[in-house]
Structure 1
Amino acid sequence: MTGKDILQKIKVKAGIGSSTSDTGKGKSKLSDRHITHGFQLVKGKSNHAMEDYVVAKFKKVNDSELGLFAIFDGHLGHDVADYLKSHLFENILHEPDFWTKTEDAIKNAYKETDTKILEKAVELGRGGSTAVTAILVDGEKLVVANVGDSRAVICKDGVAKQLSVDHEPRRERKIIEKKGGFVSNLPGDVPRVDGQLAVARAFGDRSLKMHLSSEPDVVVEMIEPGTECLILASDGLWKVMSNQEAVDSIRHIKDAQSAAKHLSDEALSRKSKDDISCIVVCFH
């Protein structure tokens, strides 16, 4: 590693710079299954540092193998997303009901993690982060949760199925207004909570929290014959590609890391200006 590379890593750690891209891959150690994953992050054209963070790994817990995949898309700074990368899965797995009431455990962990983020507002700043998480249990059971507009899409027999929910302010206008907030809808702009945030659910965002939810939508999906791949990506991808377009563009690519890079490159070619983070899990 050169001195320039070391300096860049120090800058990223300190929050005063960002690498333009990052990539990686891994695979399941289950002998009866061939599951691989790859990820790609590309910094957008904004002047601020990279605000997306990714988790993509397999981990042995008790007698099970867990695939832990997540994308955290920060806004107004990257500290909340960085905190989530380090703590959210840890908090989920420490829930006493994780193995018996997984959906409830995830919801509780999301809530408690958000509470801790708000308590650390002086340290973490006024920003926030969306999140989409996927936990793959023994290669058979997939549990997806999300707040915000990062998205999880699974492909079965060539057909794309969205597992997450896009938490758009317009969609949750009545809930926001019931809490005393409002949704702006100015010409040429997207709907925003209190005229500020373009998502109705997120971690952090202390100044908006009275009108903003951090409760995730959670769904369980079984991995069946015909399941080809899972895509997790930030809105930097989904702003320029539909679910089916994303699936169609990588079905022929067997290497998960190459598939993730292909999606990021395609988003760039379609003039996406936002940070782009993408994880692809392939079920061979």
Structure 2
Amino acid sequence: MNPNKYLQHHLFDNILSEPDFWTNPTRAIKQAYKKTNNEVLQDVVSSRGGSTAVTAVLINREKLIVANVGDSRAIMCENGKAKQITADHEPQKERELVERRGGFVSQTPGNVPRVDGQLAMTRAFGDEKVKDHITSEPDIFIENINEGTEFILLASDGLWKVMSNQEAADCIMDIDDAQEASKALIKEALSRKSADDISCIVVKFE
């Protein structure tokens, strides 16, 4: 099982299985991400590659807890305006983190900053070759859901490489069904020649 599939099947369950999730969700999410990364690295096949992730937990339809590692991103649409919730973990932005862990950031062909000349992000699951110089610790963000909140969108970089936050929001603004909205985004990203994996989840609010 590759890292992407492993995360799909285990990351969210690991978060909810943390005993202190309901009392200290931030700590529980960080622990679950760390545990899941250790599981990925213990799998010899999976550890050859890596994966990013973004997760969201909605509590009582009022509070949204979002965590991410890498360049998988979450946005929220309120009153027609897209708002990025998460932070993309790019080598230039987090050079100090990499160097503090003994690694380096260099420009590769195509002018893409990479950790140790290999990985184009500073946080990920797996990626055994650079595991000592990156981290799987997520950034965690808490947002309130209000009357103006129309939907949230979680997606991998296969979408964000070819669409801006607002373009993605505009693409599905008039689609009521969340699953159909996800399909529309994937179709649009492919039409824009996205060459990366595309995963996305849309949650609509009435």
Q: Structure 2-normalised TM-score? A: 0.95
Matches within 5 A, 1:258-269: 258-269=180-191
Tell me the equivalent position of 2:144: 222
What SS is found at the alignment partner of 2:65? strand
Alpha-carbon displacement from aligned partner over 1:56-103 (angstroms, at most 9, x marks no partner): xxxxxxxxxxxxxxxxxxxxxx61222222221221112111001111
- Contact 1:141/1:220 (CA < 8 Å) preserved in 2? yes
Let me know the Cα RMSD of the aligned residues. 1.4
Is 2:198 the partner of 1:279?
Answer: no
Which structure features the higher share of strand residues? Answer: 1
Tell me the equivalent position of 2:8: 85
Matches within 5 A, 1:125-204: 125-204=47-126
What SS is found at the alignment partner of 2:52? strand
Tell me the equivalent position of 1:245: 167
| Structure 1 unaligned regions, length at least 5 | 1-77
Shift of 1:139: 2.0
Alpha-carbon displacement from aligned partner over 1:133-178 (angstroms, at most 9, x marks no partner): 0111232221100000011000011111111110011111111112
Tell me the equivalent position of 1:106: 29
Which residue identity lines up with residue 276 of structure 1 in the other structure?
A: I
Q: 1 CA distance for matches of 2:179 and 2:155?
A: 13
Shift of 1:123: 4.6
Q: Report the more deviating stretch, 185-194 or 172-181.
A: 185-194
What SS is found at the alignment partner of 1:98? coil
- Contact 1:121/1:206 (CA < 8 Å) preserved in 2? no
Q: 2 CA distance for matches of 1:88 and 1:266?
A: 28
Shift of 1:187: 4.3
Shift of 1:215: 0.5
Which residue identity lines up with residue 140 of structure 1 in the other structure?
A: E
Shift of 1:262: 1.4
Q: 2 CA distance for matches of 1:123 and 1:270?
A: 32
| Structure 2 unaligned regions, length at least 5 | none
Q: Report the more deviating stretch, 221-230 or 264-273.
A: 264-273
Runs of 4+ residues deviating >4 angstroms = none
Which residue identity lines up with residue 223 of structure 1 in the other structure?
A: I
Distance 1:86 1:187, change over 3 A: closer
Q: 1 CA distance for matches of 2:179 and 2:204?
A: 10
What SS is found at the alignment partner of 1:146? strand
Alpha-carbon displacement from aligned partner over 1:225-245 (angstroms, at most 9, x marks no partner): 010011111111100111011
- Contact 1:181/1:193 (CA < 8 Å) preserved in 2? yes
Distance 1:283 1:116, change over 3 A: same
Distance 1:79 1:169, change over 3 A: same
What SS is found at the alignment partner of 1:241? coil
Distance 1:129 1:187, change over 3 A: closer
- Structure showing greater radius of gyration is 1
- Bigger RCO (CA 8 Å, 6+ sep): 1
Q: Structure 1-normalised TM-score? A: 0.70
Tell me the equivalent position of 1:234: 156
Which residue identity lines up with residue 248 of structure 1 in the other structure?
A: D
Q: Report the more deviating stretch, 160-169 or 266-275.
A: 266-275
Q: Report the more deviating stretch, 239-248 or 122-131.
A: 122-131
